[in-house]
Amino acid sequence: MKILVVDDHPMFREGLASVLRQWPAITGVLQASDGEVALTLVEAQPDLAAVIADLRMAGTGGLAVVTHLRRQRPDLPVLVLSSSEEPDDVRRALAAGAAGYCPKSAAPATLLAALQLVLAGQVYVPPLMALAPAAPAPTGDGSGLTPRQREVLQQLCQGQTNKQIARNLAMQEKTVKGHVSAIFKALNVVHRLQAVEAARNAGLVS
């Protein structure tokens, strides 16, 4: 699989690419110096598996990349990597549609674990979030969900990964990712744990 690294510091970008190349599952690492270049590469590389993007960059930043890809490529997970460990920055990235947030201070093993998690269709939230005040409770009631999306939601609440949901419901994994993205939007949540809580509060699942 191919991974796109987006960062405006060449030395850091190349160092991260070197770390990623140590994972046998990764067949190629593309690099972009800013969000605008990244979005061009995404259009030219439909087989990308994930994007790792810095939060703050000169020009088009990471949040803009996340927001754009959430609309245009909901099947493509974006892991935000940043020097900021502020809980508010984490929340903003997740609210924009990031599949995870990893501080640049994290060990390489942590980064790879976070990447594996988002590639499996889950959300990586750093431990620092556990120490932060809780975000406001979601308010979406999920009333706009289609019957198929409700089926996916039921599976999601049972702890199934995207791959397992695809197998159980006989659909493509990319289709499942699209449904999960729509579910998050309908429930006004940014990760799976929130989705499960919101679904149960709204009476959408038992």
Interhelix angle for 192-201 vs 147-157, to 10°? 110
pLDDT in tens, 106-126: 888 888 989 988 888 888 887
Instruction: Walk along the chain (206 residues) and give the pLDDT tens digit of each residue.
Output: 899 999 888 999 899 999 999 888 888 999 998 888 889 999 898 889 999 998 887 777 778 888 888 888 888 889 998 888 887 788 888 888 888 899 888 888 888 989 988 888 888 887 765 544 444 444 466 667 888 888 999 998 888 888 899 999 998 888 888 888 888 888 887 777 778 888 888 888 76
> How many C-beta atoms surround the C-beta of residue 141 within 10 A?
16
How far apart CA 35 and CA 41 sit, in angstroms, is 10
Residue ranges of alpha helices (H) inside the chain are 10-20, 35-44, 62-72, 87-96, 108-119, 147-157, 162-169, 173-187, 192-201
Query: What was the pLDDT predicted at 206?
Result: 64
> How many C-beta atoms surround the C-beta of residue 123 within 10 A?
23
Query: What was the pLDDT predicted at 131?
Result: 44
What domains are defined for the chain? 2-131 (3.40.50.2300), 147-201 (1.10.10.10)
Round the CA-based radius of gyration of the chain to a whole number and report it. 17
Query: What was the pLDDT predicted at 141?
Result: 60
Give residue 119's Cα distance to chain centre. Answer: 8
The partner residues of 5 in beta bridges, in order of sequence, read: 31, 52
Phi and psi of 25, rounded to 5°?
Answer: -70, -20
48-54/100-103 β-pairing: unpaired
- Say what the pTM is: 0.65
